[in-house]
Amino acid sequence: MSEPRLILESLFHAGVEACMPSRVLAAHLPPRPKGRLIVLAAGKSAVEMAEVVEGAWDGPMDGVVVARPGQTRDLKRLTLMEAPHPTPDERSVAAGLALLTAAAKAGADDQVLVLLSGGASSLLCLPGEGLTLAAKQALTRDLLRSGAPIQDMNLVRRHLSRVKGGRLAAAAWPAPVLTLAISDVVSDAPEAIGSGPTVADPSTVAEAKALLARHGIRDPGAGWSETVKPGDPRLARAEFRIVASARTALAAVVEAARRAGFVPEMLGEGIEGEAREVGAAHALVARAYAGRRIRHALISGGELTVTVGGQGRGGPNQEYAAALALALEGASGVYALAGDSDGIDGSSGAAGAFITPDTLARARKLGVDLMLRLASNDVAPAFEALGDAFAPGATGSNVNDLRIVLVGA
């Protein structure tokens, strides 16, 4: 059992490492401006991105970096702030205000460099006029439990904010703004990454309210405003580049699988949907490949969701793994790892989970009913009991899910 697990782990890390800021960021840094470089960073890769800039830049520089607690390290020239994920609090409001204030102080000869990565929507929370933090927190929790895809969540967030939806770049006008982003959304749409604080957004308040109604979530009743629209002159000097994404990670996983002696098969780069349904569907694919005398690695990315009905611990990747194991029913030679590339899968406390041909047998021996656990959104304790929780810790990157199923291992 240990060899397939080691292979799975190495493939996962190959994908994550391909997207690390130390590999992808430096080549995109702007030329030295007449004035200062003002760095505004937020997200799960914020500290790592800021470290690259500090190491490469020798001119005048200041700015603010916002990261989750536990991810912070000493920065030499930039101010570091902490804020939580996925539900914002007072620290998120302070961080949003700090970035907005720093952007507003930029002059025409300065260069604003925005370093954006997944998680920024929570880390920067500056509720719209009249919307209380408590109401924003309640809305965030409702969205997280609804199973809404991140694109829908961020569309709503953009219209209930004073920093998202292009407002950060608008505040920096007339300074040029360059955003370098590590994408955590399936579409790589700039307005969806971190809720698009530096790009134009064509969506409307009416669309955001309709999304809440579609997901059965109550309108907060305050805080709504239109985002900065395409053609707004305040964005005339704003540029946006994606420096790494799920595609970057998956290409590295494919190559690593090939080197490990497997024939890689891509099941999809941007798969969305209910985690347990996708897990069951991938089990059918694995069974079809199991009849061949070739070792295959079935690889997929994207961002799965969970419609939460129970009160347990878990996350989309662990629910995918549980559903995969149940549908495989102990199929011989099939091993899998599903993990979130940032190292945190929902409320599980881990990045995801492994499954092996004897997952169900071992669960029965321990008295663990995996089907019942899945039904109650409480799969994390099951994988912990099995010793199959995958917990590498925060990775410093975030390009959504990485799922690998080895057939014939």
Residues 292 and 182 in one domain: no
Q: Is 200 helix (H, G, I), strand (E, B) or coil?
A: coil
pLDDT in tens, 201-227: 999 999 999 999 999 999 999 999 999
The pair of structure tokens assigned to 203 is: 């969506």
Please check whether residues 291 and 240 belong to one and the same domain.
no
Find the CATH number of the domain harbouring 159.
Answer: 3.40.50.10180
> Given this model, what pLDDT does residue 279 score?
98
CA distances (Å), 145 to each of 51, 85, 270, 319, 377, in order?
34, 15, 21, 14, 11
**Structural domains in the chain (count):** 2
Residue 147, pLDDT score: 84
Judge if 195 and 304 occupy the same domain: no
Please check whether residues 75 and 131 belong to one and the same domain: yes
> Sorting pLDDT into bands at 50, 70 and 90, what band is 2?
low
Q: Let me know whether 101 and 221 are in one domain.
A: yes
Domain end marker among 244, 274, 307:
244
Residue where a domain stops, chosen among 244, 277, 294: 244
Residues 63 and 124 in one domain: yes
Backbone angles phi, psi at 297, to 5 degrees: -120, 110
Averaged over 317-337, what is the pLDDT?
97
Question: pLDDT at position 343, please?
Answer: 94
Categorize the per-residue pLDDT at 150 as very low, low, confident or very high, splitting at 50, 70 and 90.
confident
Residues 222 and 95 in one domain: yes
| Whether residue 231 sits in one domain with residue 283 | no
Q: What is the mean pLDDT of the chain?
A: 95
CATH of the domain at 10: 3.40.1480.10
Cβ atoms of residues 225 and 128 within 8 Å: yes
The dihedral formed by the CA atoms of 307, 313, 319 and 322, expressed in degrees to the nearest 10: -140
pLDDT of residue 103: 98
Q: Is the dihedral of CA 195, 197, 198, 200 positive or negative?
A: positive
362 shares its domain with 255? yes
Structure tokens at 398: 């975030």
Which structural domain range is residue 387 located in? 2-15+247-407
Q: For residues 262 and 295, is the Cβ–Cβ distance under 8 A?
A: yes
Whole-prediction pTM value?
0.93
Residues 327 and 197 in one domain: no
Looking at the predicted structure, is the pLDDT value of residue 123 above 80?
A: yes
Pair (160, 281) in one structural domain: no
Does residue 86 sit in the same domain as residue 151? yes
- Torsion of the alpha carbons at 358, 359, 363 and 365, rounded to the nearest 10: 10
One-letter amino acid identity for 214?
Answer: R
Name residue 52's beta-bridge partners.
Answer: none
Q: What is the CA radius of gyration of the chain?
A: 22
Section 189-205 average pLDDT: 96
Q: Residue 72: which pLDDT band, with cuts at 50, 70 and 90?
A: low
Mean pLDDT in residue range 259-285: 97
pLDDT over threshold 50, residue 367: yes
In tens, the pLDDT along 16-37 reads: 999 999 999 999 999 999 999 9
- 158 and 129 Cβ atoms separated by less than 8 Å: no
The overall longest dimension of the chain from CA atoms, in Å, is 69
pLDDT at 173 over 80: yes
pLDDT at 1 over 50: no
Question: Please, which pLDDT band fits residue 236 given cuts at 50, 70 and 90?
Answer: very high
Distance CA 335, CA 404 (A): 8
Alpha-carbon gap, residue 195 to 54, rounded angstroms = 25
Q: Domain boundary at 244, 271, 299, which? A: 244
Question: Is pLDDT of 292 > 90?
Answer: no
